[in-house]
């Protein structure tokens, strides 16, 4: 009981536990912090913080400047790309414009070529003249003709008719068909030179266009101011399929232009073998002479077109036919005279095999052999003619 009473009632208290060694560490630090700081030191501290802040801002500005520079470079690249695209677009437009100009130039060239071929054919009628004289005549005729070709399409009766000539000249089949479907369109309308849409289509070898014009009533007999029909034009350009289409439509193989030349004359002059064959099959007269007495055989012989000469001979061409001695430059020459004068060995052989007379004299008294001997580089031709004269 006493022991119990002693524990419960006023016995002595138990001693407290000792504090850890690390307890109270903050008291010295707090005492340091609570020590008054001199104003100068505080100012330095604030300046240091401000300087640090400025350095951070400067760093941010540098980083931002680098990004801005990169963006500026990108903008310049984009501007350069846009400028390049614009330049490319301008270049494309320029190319398109040049292409259109080239197309127009080609059309004009085709027309001029057609006229020049007529002039070449006309100039050869003055053979056998000197090369210099022939060249001068050709230049004079070509210059005269070129001055006339100032407009490709001449005034027509209506806009549709004018458009028909333009479309035929350019070879635009769909436009030609559209215009032909208009009742007011005359398929035989002529330009200032008298050429029709059929002439232009024939020159360009637009056979389908030619057939469309023929179905619409185009007349194969219409002549231009030079007296040429569509068959002349097709023959001048070597358009065999077109020639055949025109012949099926009833074109006259023996129609003459103002120079007296037929389609066969031009085809033989330019050595269009396919056209020559088509005309001969259709019954073209190989004996027809132009205004200065030349046949198609004269023309083919003059230029050394051996295959054409052989085709004409098979069709019955007369080797003894003479050109007209009444004209200033013609002297009663035969085809053999022309071939010998120009050194056309293959033609001379073909004519001799066909029985051409080597002894015939022209109005100057020259035989084919004598003409060849005047040209000393024609030794092979001279030998052939000498052999022919002995047989």
Instruction: Let me know if residue 299 belongs to a domain.
Output: yes
Number of domains in the chain: 3
Asked if residue 35 belongs to a domain, the reply is no
Average pLDDT over residues 104-127: 57
| 177 and 203 housed in the same domain | yes
Which pLDDT tens digit goes with each residue over 166-189? 999 999 999 999 999 998 899 999
Let me know whether 352 and 379 are in one domain: yes
Mean pLDDT of all residues belonging to the chain: 81
Pick the last residue of a domain from 110, 131, 149.
149
Q: Are residues 205 and 129 in the same domain?
A: no
In a domain, 316, yes or no: yes
Asked if residue 74 belongs to a domain, the reply is no
Q: Which residue has the higher pLDDT, 53 or 225?
A: 225
Spatial contact of 276 and 311, defined as CB atoms under 8 Å apart: yes
pLDDT of 83 reads 80
The burial class, CB within 10 Å (0-12 / 13-18 / 19+), for 259 is middle
Which comes out higher in pLDDT, residue 34 or 191? 191
Question: DSSP assignment of 63-74, as one string?
Answer: HHHHHHHHHHHH
Do 191 and 101 share a structural domain? no
Q: How confident is the model at residue 46 (pLDDT cuts 50, 70, 90)?
A: confident
Say whether both 390 and 303 belong to one domain: yes
143 lies in a domain?
A: yes
Nearest-angstrom CA–CA distance, 151 and 162: 12
- Mean pLDDT across the stretch 281-294? 96
Q: 83-102, pLDDT tens digit by residue?
A: 887 777 776 776 666 666 66
Q: Give me the domain span that covers residue 115.
A: 86-149
Q: In terms of domains, do 327 and 374 share one?
A: yes
Residues 187 and 126 in one domain: no
Residues 115 and 187 in one domain: no
Shared domain for 239 and 155, answered yes or no, is yes
Residues 299 and 390 in one domain: yes
Least confident stretch, 7-16, 129-138, 188-197, 280-289: 129-138
Asked whether residue 65 is domain-assigned, the answer is: no
Looking at the domain assignment, is residue 195 inside a domain? yes
The predicted pLDDT at position 190 comes to 93
The pLDDT of residue 138: 42
What is the per-residue pLDDT for 56? 86
Residue 32 pLDDT exceeds 60: no
Whether 338 and 256 map to the same domain: the answer is: no
Q: What is the CATH number of the domain that holds 386?
A: 1.25.40.20
Quote the CA–CA distance of 18 and 317 in Å, as a whole number.
Answer: 152
Confidence grade of residue 150 (pLDDT, cut at 50, 70, 90): very low
Where does a domain end: 100, 129, 149? Answer: 149
Instruction: Tell whether omega for the bond before 174 is within 30 degrees of 0, i.e. cis.
Output: no
- Tens digit of each residue's pLDDT (9 = 90 or more) over 337-360: 999 999 999 999 999 999 999 999
CA distances to 152, 198, 215, 241, 251 from 156, rounded to whole Å, are: 12, 15, 21, 29, 24
Average pLDDT over residues 56-82: 83
291 and 389 part of one domain: yes
Residue 91 included in any domain: yes
Residue 322's CB is within 10 A of a number of other CB atoms, namely: 21
């Amino acid at each position: 009981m006493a022991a119990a009473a002693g524990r419960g009632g006023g016995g002595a208290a138990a001693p407290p536990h000792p504090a850890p060694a690390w307890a109270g560490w903050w008291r010295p630090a707090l005492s340091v912090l609570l020590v008054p700081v001199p104003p100068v030191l505080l100012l330095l501290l604030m300046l240091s913080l401000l300087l640090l802040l400025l350095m951070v801002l400067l760093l941010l500005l540098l980083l931002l400047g680098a990004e801005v520079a990169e963006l500026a470079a990108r903008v310049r690249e984009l501007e350069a790309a846009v400028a390049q695209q614009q330049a490319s677009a301008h270049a494309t437009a320029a190319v398109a414009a040049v292409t259109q100009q080239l197309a127009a130039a080609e059309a004009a060239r085709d027309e001029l070529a057609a006229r020049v071929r007529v002039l070449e054919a006309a100039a050869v009628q003055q053979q056998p003249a000197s090369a210099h004289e022939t060249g001068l005549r050709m230049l004079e005729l070509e210059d005269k003709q070129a001055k006339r070709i100032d407009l490709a399409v001449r005034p027509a009766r209506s806009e549709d008719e004018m458009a028909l000539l333009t479309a035929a000249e350019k070879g635009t089949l769909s436009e030609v068909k559209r215009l032909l479907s208009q009742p007011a369109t005359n398929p035989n309308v002529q330009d200032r030179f008298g050429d029709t849409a059929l002439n232009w289509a024939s020159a360009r070898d637009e056979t389908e266009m030619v057939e469309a014009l023929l179905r619409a009533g185009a007349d194969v007999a219409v002549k231009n101011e030079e007296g040429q029909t569509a068959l002349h034009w097709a023959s001048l350009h070597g358009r065999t399929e077109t020639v055949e289409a025109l012949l099926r439509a009833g074109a006259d193989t023996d129609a003459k232009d103002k120079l007296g030349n037929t389609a066969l004359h031009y085809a033989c002059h330019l050595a269009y073998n396919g056209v020559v064959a088509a005309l001969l099959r259709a019954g073209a007269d190989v004996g027809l002479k132009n205004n200065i007495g030349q046949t198609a055989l004269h023309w083919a012989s003059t230029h050394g077109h051996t295959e054409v000469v052989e085709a004409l001979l098979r069709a019955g061409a007369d080797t003894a036919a003479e050109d007209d001695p009444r004209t200033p430059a013609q002297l009663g020459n035969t085809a053999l005279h022309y071939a010998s004068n120009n050194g056309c060995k293959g033609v001379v052989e073909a004519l001799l095999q066909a029985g051409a007379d080597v002894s015939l004299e022209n109005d100057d008294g020259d035989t084919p052999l004598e003409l060849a001997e005047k040209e000393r580089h024609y030794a092979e031709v001279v030998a052939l003619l000498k052999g022919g004269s002995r047989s």
